[in-house]
């Protein structure tokens, strides 16, 4: 496998059939070490996002790209719900997950509250860890910030292996998260 393949999308509008060939090919050399595969995604993912203003669509592709490049158990976003003052499940790849996360409980809430990446080698040792899946053994959560520096979402990644996130993995994930943060304010959320 050399990358994410061409995606064909088809649909109907005003009674006319129309097709888009979305030729965004995100090259992933699966022979490279995992952290380098993630680093390889930074520029193509940014280019892909520059062509789309929907935040939902961009978060979905970011999750899919990192999931496809790594095979981690769960890769996705929780978005800050300002009205409810909690985190709500956003686009993700992997098993069904908890829909809301609350202050003071779990790894995602810690990343949100402290605006700091949380690397958890063993989730059973993290007080208050929220176990959406019993298969998750280690976890990393990165804050996504708007231009004002406020945490607007978190990028959560779970592994079924203990102690599965190297410093190089985290560095690459921070580079990917920086792309999401940089573009956040330009995105819309209505659809």
Chain residues binding ligand SME by CB under 6 A are: 74, 97-98, 101, 106-109, 129-130, 132, 136, 139, 156, 158
160 versus 168: smaller Cβ distance to ligand SME: 160
Q: State which residue, 3 or 90, has the beta carbon closest to ligand SME.
A: 90
The separation between CA 20 and the C-alpha centre of its own chain, rounded to angstroms, equals 25
What does DSSP assign to residue 155?
E
Nearer to ligand SME, 158 or 176 (CB): 158
Strand bridging mode 16-22 / 74-81? unpaired
Question: For the chain, where are the alpha helices, taking DSSP H only?
Answer: 34-50, 55-70, 107-114, 167-183
Shortest distance (Å) from residue 7 CB to ligand SME: 25
Comparing every residue's Cβ against ligand SME, the nearest one is 106
The dihedral region occupied by 125, where left means phi > 0, alpha psi between -120 and 50, and beta the remainder, is alpha
Closest distance to ligand SME from the beta carbon of 129 (Å): 5
In the bound state with ligand SME, the residue whose beta carbon lies nearer, of 38 and 130, is: 130
């Amino acid at each position: 496998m050399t990358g994410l393949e061409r995606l064909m999308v088809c649909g109907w509008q005003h009674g006319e059939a129309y097709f888009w060939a979305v030729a965004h090919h995100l090259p992933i050399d699966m022979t490279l070490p995992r952290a380098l595969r993630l680093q390889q995604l930074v520029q193509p993912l940014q280019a892909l996002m520059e062509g789309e203003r929907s935040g939902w669509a961009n978060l979905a592709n970011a999750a899919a790209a990192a999931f496809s490049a790594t095979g981690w158990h769960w890769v996705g976003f929780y978005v800050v719900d300002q009205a409810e003052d909690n985190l709500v499940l956003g686009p993700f790849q992997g098993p069904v997950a908890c829909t809301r996360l609350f202050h003071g409980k779990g790894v995602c809430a810690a990343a949100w509250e402290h605006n700091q990446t949380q690397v958890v080698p063993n989730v059973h040792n993290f007080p208050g860890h929220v176990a959406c899946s019993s298969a998750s053994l280690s976890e990393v959560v990165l804050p996504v910030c708007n231009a004002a520096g406020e945490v607007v979402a978190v990028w959560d990644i779970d592994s079924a292996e203990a102690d599965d996130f190297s410093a190089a993995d985290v560095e690459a994930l921070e580079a990917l998260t920086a792309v999401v943060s940089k573009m956040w304010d330009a995105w819309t959320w209505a659809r």
